A and B are shown apart, each in its own frame.
Chain A
Amino acid sequence: MSLLLDRLFDGVTNGCVYAIMALALVIVFRGSGTINFAQGELALFTTYIAWWLTTLGAPIWLGLIAATVAGLILGAGVERVLIRPVRRRNDLAVLIVCLGLFTALNALAGLIWNSETKTMPSIFPNGLEDYVGIGGARLYFDGLGVWIVVLIVVGLMFLLFNHTRLGLHMRAVANAPESAALSGVRTGRVLMFGWGVSGAIGAVAGVLITPLSPQQLGLQTMFPILIYASAAALFGGLDSPVGAVVGGLVLGVLQQLIMGYVGFVGDSLPQTAALTIIVAVLVLRPNGLFGTRQLERV
């Protein structure tokens, strides 16, 4: 029982990480209709900024704020300078710009801060004794902290989308860009803001995740997370923020449970097994669990 709880806790913590990154991907997708492959590397870069500030003596929460601001600016800047000129052309062009950015940002982080693995200080107490016992299982404070932050971010996004004018504009641009533009919504600015927000969310995620990640802060930290976040976003439905969160949590828990309880695949094929299940679900629901069906006029 306690083992099951342990695995569930681990799964939920991983799932929260996937969920928050997936949320960032979904926000970009709703506006721009593309998966931002550079999302992970944007987060990596801002995490490096936070780490760099801590080496200068700044407390980690200051690093978190700086990283968030940097993520906002970077995301918005990328949209304005790199994505907007090619967006109208085709999807593949946007994809390649993102891939180019992915390579360049990763290498740039390595160039500035070299490629050695860094130890990132955690914003939550993360000693071996910092846990609460629940039914014999251990829930560590840093894991719990990630849960809480994810809840806060999701709550903020809910408020933003449903209770602010800007959120209304964002939803309008996602649903019908032309009608929105005709009604006076400044589409470009809204898209730029969307990219900025997702950059900021990614930055928060990066600072929270890296102390938990087995690789700590290295150039390879974000790529696997991006892959699972994309899987989670697609599983939930690319245009659904709720789907992103649900998809992330399901993926995280599924991975842990498969790793723990399915003998044949065991610890060697957890990712394959989780992704196979997701593909099977997609065959039944081709637009993800919560995604809207694409209607096309012929």
Chain B
Amino acid sequence: MKSLPYVITRGTWAHRVLILSVAALVVLAVLWASGLAQFRVAQLTSVFIYAIAISGLNLATGYTGLLSIGHSAFFGLGAYTTGVLVMKYNWDPLSTVVPAIILCFIVGFLIGLPALRIRGLYLALVTLAVGVAFPELVRRFDDLTGGARGLVIRRRLLNPPPWSGFSAGQRDAWLFWLSAVLLGIVLFGVHNLVRSRAGLAMIATRDNEIAAAASGIRVAVVKTSIFGLSGAVTGLAGCLFAMYLAALSPDGSFTLLKSIEFITGLVIGGAATRTGPVVGAFAVVYIPYFTANLNPSNVSQGQLSGVLFGLALILIIFLMPDGLVGGISRLSGRFVHVRPAAPSNTPTPPPAPAPVPTGAGSRGEPS
């Protein structure tokens, strides 16, 4: 028997087979999941939506080091853009994604502007202000947004478009596949971005801003545009969420607690890892679900699950400091080790926790 770990060089046929088989496994898993009961399919759809939102947060917080507790606002902005355009202006739901993304990018860019002077936890206050402001603004402009009463999107308007091949009754399946495909696109985009020159600039900005600026990185451009992009991706998730829930209210899903959920998912999954957001999304959707089911009596359902959820968070941080993806890749590194080849740019898009070394997994203390 060959000694472990089994070494695979990047770019060789063995590596390609590994990637293809992981990709095939993921596609098979999604296909299998799409055949599950309707409730399960809807649950997985929400996982995909969360994963997109957390991927957006990951760009700003994980890779560029801009801690944001205001991403619920982008999530809400995307959702309300879709809701308002569909209900008040009779847009087709899918076509609202474009204006929502553009709007979120612009807002994110503007929020990124104070980041040029304000750093760290003080920057978190700026994003906090945005997160607090969003529900208040929704309530203030109630002629457009429905205010505190909420905005209900008529189900009929959310039917799958005819070209998709889904019949009018298959709304859940359509949303499931739409979210899955968009998640795939987002992950692929993030993967390419962080491995590009721009990605290096982001990581350098995070690790040491002054050194990055001294090395010729335009820190201001990086920060503002990444904040915009991050907002746009989370906004996209918001659009899907509006289609998924079909009923929006300022106090329901777009408060600071949602931002906290995103951050939690990001850190549990693994900040600054490419598949971390997906794993984190599974965690924030399924851990509360399972802890709620563990409860023998139904008297204080929510409370016990809350206690267990909190303990699970602390436990994960204690056991796996780099998040679940960090833990998994360290474990799998014992069996299969992927070695980078001599300088070459092989595209490696594994959309699942694959045993690929995760770029800048650890965040070193700046000295």
Q: Is chain B found bound to chain A in the same assembly?
A: yes
Q: Quick check: is A31 within 8 A (CB to CB) of the other chain?
A: no
A97 to B264, CA, bound (A): 10
What are 30 A-to-B residue pairs whose CB atoms are below 8 Å?
A35-B124, A93-B267, A95-B267, A96-B268, A96-B317, A99-B313, A100-B312, A100-B313, A103-B307, A103-B310, A104-B309, A106-B306, A107-B307, A110-B302, A111-B300, A111-B306, A111-B307, A115-B300, A230-B125, A268-B139, A271-B132, A272-B133, A275-B128, A279-B114, A279-B129, A282-B117, A282-B122, A282-B126, A294-B119, A298-B210
A286 touches B136 (CB 8 A): no
- Interface digits, A258-295 against B, CB 8 Å rule (1 contact, 0 not)? 00000001001101100110110011001110000010
Residues of B participating in the A interface, judged by any CB pair closer than 8 Å: 114, 117-119, 121-122, 124-126, 128-129, 132-133, 136-137, 139-140, 208, 210-211, 214, 256, 260, 263-264, 267-268, 271, 300, 302-307, 309-314, 317-318, 321, 363, 365-367
Among A3-11, A81-89, A123-131, A175-183, the stretch that binds chain B is A81-89
A269 touches B136 (CB 8 A): yes
B300 touches A227 (CB 8 A): no
Contact residues, A52-69 vs B (CB, 8 A): none
A234 touches B121 (CB 8 A): yes
Residues of the B chain whose Cβ atoms lie less than 8 Å from the Cβ of A279: 114, 125-126, 129
Taking the closest CB of chain A, its distance from the CB of B50, in whole angstroms, is 16
Residues of the B chain whose Cβ atoms lie less than 8 Å from the Cβ of A19: none
Q: Quick check: is A76 within 8 A (CB to CB) of the other chain?
A: no
A268 touches B267 (CB 8 A): no
Q: Quick check: is A146 within 8 A (CB to CB) of the other chain?
A: no
Q: Quick check: is A165 within 8 A (CB to CB) of the other chain?
A: no
Taking the closest CB of chain A, its distance from the CB of B127, in whole angstroms, is 10
Contact residues, A237-258 vs B (CB, 8 A): 238
Known A90-B365, A93-B321, A282-B125: A105·B267 in contact at CB below 8 Å: no
- The 3 A-B pairs with the shortest beta carbon distances in the complex, nearest first, are A107-B306, A104-B310, A100-B313
Taking the closest CB of chain A, its distance from the CB of B223, in whole angstroms, is 14
A276 to B125, CA, bound (A): 10
A227 to B256, CA, bound (A): 10
15 additional contacts, CB 8 Å, given A275-B125, A275-B132?
A: A100-B312, A100-B317, A102-B260, A107-B303, A108-B303, A108-B307, A111-B304, A114-B300, A227-B132, A268-B136, A269-B140, A275-B129, A275-B133, A276-B133, A283-B117
B133 touches A96 (CB 8 A): no
Residues of the A chain whose Cβ atoms lie less than 8 Å from the Cβ of B208: 298
Minimal Cβ-Cβ distance residue in B for A280: B114
Residues of the B chain whose Cβ atoms lie less than 8 Å from the Cβ of A107: 302-307, 309-310
Q: Quick check: is A297 within 8 A (CB to CB) of the other chain?
A: yes
Residues of the A chain whose Cβ atoms lie less than 8 Å from the Cβ of B300: 110-111, 114-115
> Which residue of A96, A271, A288, A298 is within 8 Å of B264 (Cβ)?
A96
Taking the closest CB of chain B, its distance from the CB of A251, in whole angstroms, is 12
- Interface size class, chain A: 35 or more
> Which residue of B125, B133, B309, B363 is within 8 Å of A92 (Cβ)?
B363
Q: Quick check: is A101 within 8 A (CB to CB) of the other chain?
A: yes
B302 touches A272 (CB 8 A): no
Residues of the A chain whose Cβ atoms lie less than 8 Å from the Cβ of B128: 227, 230-231, 275
Minimal Cβ-Cβ distance residue in A for B311: A104
Minimal Cβ-Cβ distance residue in A for B310: A104
A289 to B98, CA, bound (A): 41
Known A99-B313, A111-B307, A297-B367: A288·B122 in contact at CB below 8 Å: yes
A23 to B271, CA, bound (A): 31
Taking the closest CB of chain B, its distance from the CB of A204, in whole angstroms, is 25
B125 touches A234 (CB 8 A): yes
A35 touches B121 (CB 8 A): yes
Residues of the B chain whose Cβ atoms lie less than 8 Å from the Cβ of A231: 125, 128-129
Residues of the B chain whose Cβ atoms lie less than 8 Å from the Cβ of A106: 306
Taking the closest CB of chain A, its distance from the CB of B315, in whole angstroms, is 8
